[in-house]
Structure 1
Amino acid sequence: MEQKEILEGLRVYKKRFSKQYGILDIGVFGSVARGDYDNESDVDIVVRLQKQDLFLLAGLKYDLEETFHRSIDIVAYRDTMNPFLKKRIDREAVYV
């Protein structure tokens, strides 16, 4: 699956499920954003939600894994997150 296909899939997913999950922003970071991933790589997703809720995040992860048929690592973007991870996301993230 190409980066372009992943981003388009996220665009469609956001339009369809943004109200259900309260998605404000969603994108990729890590190997997919850098373009150096392969078929064995997971997809690193960053999401900003209206309401921080662990159960919503778990549901979102499950749905995205079903959608992309790949392992998904998902991170909720927030002000109080790990500063090193936040800096990496700020530098690499590609949002849809």
Structure 2
Amino acid sequence: MSSAISPVATKAEVLKILSDFAETIRKLGVVQIGLFGSFVRNQQTPESDLDVLVDFAEGQATFDNYMDLCFLLEDETGRKVDVVTTRSLSPFIGPHIINEVEYVNLDR
């Protein structure tokens, strides 16, 4: 995480960063990305991390792509980021996340 960047404070800031970096995110094999958790509910605190849900294209869910996405998002938002794939969602928590997530259009 870069200390040079002030941590994002609002959902709008996070969604703008995701949108601004859509091309880079797509190049990492991501076909869908969205925000969930405290930022979506406007319950974030200065210590809150970002919760991001992603779907990778077939064959693109590699360790390198996953880690590069994590590093990109942490560097650009100034916050710790938890990246969760749709395929890894628990059947117990998954439905709650799916109902809450706000997706970003990666097509430009």
Counterpart AA for 1:62: F
Identity %: 30
Deviation of 1:88 after TM superposition, in Å, equals 2.0
Aligned to 1:69: 78
Bigger relative contact order, structure 1 or 2 (CA pairs below 8 A, ≥6 apart):
2
1:20-59 equivalence runs, <5 A: 20-50=27-57, 51-59=60-68
Q: Separation in 1 of the partners of 2:44 and 2:12?
A: 13
Structure 2 length-normalised TM: 0.79
Higher share of residues assigned helix: 1
Aligned to 2:14: 6
Gaps of 5+ in 1: none
User: Is contact 1:14–1:26 with CA below 8 Å preserved after alignment?
Assistant: no
What's the secondary structure of 2:93's corresponding residue? Answer: helix
When Rg is computed on C-alpha atoms for both structures, the one with the higher figure is 2
Please give the per-residue CA displacement for 1:18-56, whole angstroms capped at 9, x wherever unaligned: 1x2111111111101111112210000111110222331
Q: Separation in 2 of the partners of 1:29 and 1:84?
A: 16
Q: Separation in 2 of the partners of 1:61 and 1:30?
A: 17
Structure 1 length-normalised TM: 0.87
Q: Separation in 1 of the partners of 2:96 and 2:68?
A: 25
Q: Name segments (4+ residues, structure 1) moved above 2 Å.
A: none
